[in-house]
Amino acid sequence: MASDIPIQVHQIDAEYSLAEITDFGAQVLSWTPRGQNPVVWLSPQASFAGDTTVRGGIPICLPWFGNPRFSPAAPAGAAGNHGFAKTTVWERDDSVSSPAAQLTSGQGNDLGTSQMPGNGGKQAGVGAEASYKVLTYRLSHKDGELFPHAFSAQLTIEVGTTLRLMLEAVNTDDHPFTFEAVFHTYLGFSDLRQCELHGLEHAVFLDTLTDKKASEDQPITFNQSFDRIYDSPSDLEIYDPAWGRKIWLKKLGSKSTIVWTPWNRFIKDFSDIPDQEVYRFAGIEFGNVRENAFLLQPGQSHRLAMEIGVDSLVDQGQVASNWDLFVRGY
């Protein structure tokens, strides 16, 4: 990635994976386990000018999601899609005690490590304990024209054998308000037309392209444009046979799952997505939106967490997860 771009990008070199993270939106831009193709997809035509969201990675959508006209968070004025957190420079917190550690200013690759408890994040076939590199960001919003409610947010990112995110939002105002939050994750695939998503069978979804609700009893196969909001707390698995792997996702504090891909129907609407990339990614997003948006009372907080891992379909190798210990540790 170019070094002269306006947005500062930190290169995270962990024992078993590599990541790119920027202070702009506190956004994970990419995540790649060593020896693998990228799991978190970044568009080769993404803009790093700092005036729009970087296309790909994991944008943090809050305090609302999607078109503000349909958001129960009721943003005001000329609010854009998906909230303002994704285009705000977050403050990197180098003072947080364990498990977070300091990042050397301006270098971007000297994160401290956090040894996770339990089995230490052992990876099958490796037999060694994996250390996680940790980065913590904070955002404070007093009030404003677009969202006249005060809140603070903290995002913790852990990079290791898996990728983990924990977002905590706190109502710092003197009145309650409705809040939406989403990990807008772009996952990378060999060819989406050959992949299959498990975990949303029988879940009711809103198809925002038709404004109709439905459910399906089979795993999702990708052969058309998708823009669906599922009412589901379930974890997911996506099988990618061409790359010989299964991507799995765990979540906490999320009742909504969004599945989105522009496909050929809408790809021309996105100048920052090359035509040849249309089958190389999908938005698989966790959060709380629409009727699942949460009402925060003064002083109340809400936590949203996600873990992404990869298992081999060739040798049945599996990456161990300390998910339960992770979510209890914050």
Assign residue 266 the CATH number of its domain. 2.70.98.10
Assigned domain for 4 exists: no
Assigned domain for 304 exists: yes
Assigned domain for 2 exists: no
Assigned domain for 1 exists: no
Residues whose CB is less than 8 angstroms from the CB of residue 82 and which lie 6 or more positions away in sequence, other chains included:
53, 59, 61, 64, 65, 66, 182, 184
Task: Tell me the CB-side half-sphere exposure of residue 245, using CA atoms within 13 A.
Answer: 20
Number of domains in the chain: 1
Assigned domain for 34 exists: yes
Residues pairing with 304 in the sheet: 167
* 3-state secondary structure (DSSP) of residue 5: coil
Assigned domain for 266 exists: yes
Q: What domain range is 231 assigned to? A: 9-328
pTM, entire model: 0.84
Task: Tell me the CB-side half-sphere exposure of residue 122, using CA atoms within 13 A.
Answer: 7
Digits of tens for pLDDT over the chain (330 positions)? 433 457 888 999 999 999 999 999 999 999 999 999 999 999 888 887 777 788 899 999 999 887 777 787 877 665 677 788 998 999 998 765 334 333 222 233 333 333 332 233 334 333 333 589 999 999 999 877 778 899 999 999 999 999 999 999 999 999 999 999 999 999 999 999 999 999 999 999 999 989 999 999 999 999 888 899 999 999 999 999 999 999 999 999 999 999 999 876 666 677 778 788 889 999 999 999 999 999 999 999 999 999 999 999 876 666 666 667 666 665
Assigned domain for 192 exists: yes
Residues pairing with 115 in the sheet: 131
Assigned domain for 22 exists: yes
